[in-house]
């Protein structure tokens, strides 16, 4: 199974139209990778391809798709890079405010003892 689920911010989105008239959006995804030894935040970047129009904003996005390694040759040199072929992209709920569910009232158990125990 080749499935990738990742959360990040979209940058440099560019939409083109194929010869068949379909929209293809290529974009980068900035991914938080934790903090380095110096205490500063570190980020990684991965290229993505989405078959459709993509409306971008500054919100975190949850991206699901397949990992693909694109390879090509130019001037006698071989190149390759990983890329996510996106199936779905939605606003992330990672940092959404969670509503607490109401907790059930504790049930009183029938006790063989009286309520007033003189200790």
Question: Six-digit token pair at 113?
Answer: 């003892």
Of 100, 66, 109, 104, the C-alpha closest to 85 is 66
Of 17, 4, 54, 12, the C-alpha closest to 30 is 12
Report the chain's mean pLDDT, rounded to a whole number.
Answer: 83
116 belongs to a structural domain:
no
106 belongs to a structural domain:
no
Task: Give the model's pLDDT for residue 55.
Answer: 72
Task: Give the model's pLDDT for residue 108.
Answer: 47
CATH of the domain at 46: 2.40.50.140
At 90 the three-state DSSP class reads strand
Q: Answer whether residue 84 shows pLDDT above 50.
A: yes
57 pLDDT tier (thresholds 50, 70, 90) = confident
Give the domain range for residue 62. Answer: 4-91
pTM of the full predicted structure?
Answer: 0.71
113 belongs to a structural domain:
no
Domain count, the chain: 1
79 belongs to a structural domain:
yes
114 belongs to a structural domain:
no
Q: Answer whether residue 113 shows pLDDT above 90.
A: no
107 pLDDT tier (thresholds 50, 70, 90) = very low
78 belongs to a structural domain:
yes
């Amino acid at each position: 199974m080749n499935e990738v689920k990742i959360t990040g911010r979209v940058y440099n989105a560019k939409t083109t139209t194929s010869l068949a008239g379909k929209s293809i959006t290529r974009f980068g995804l900035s991914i938080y990778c934790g903090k380095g030894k110096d205490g500063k935040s570190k980020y990684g970047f991965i290229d993505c391809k989405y078959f459709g129009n993509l409306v971008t904003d500054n919100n975190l996005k949850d991206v699901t798709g397949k990992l693909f390694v694109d390879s090509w040759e130019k001037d006698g040199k071989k190149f390759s890079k990983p890329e996510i072929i996106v199936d779905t992209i939605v606003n992330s709920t990672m940092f959404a405010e969670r509503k607490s569910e109401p907790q059930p009232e504790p049930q009183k158990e029938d006790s063989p003892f009286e309520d007033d125990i003189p200790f």
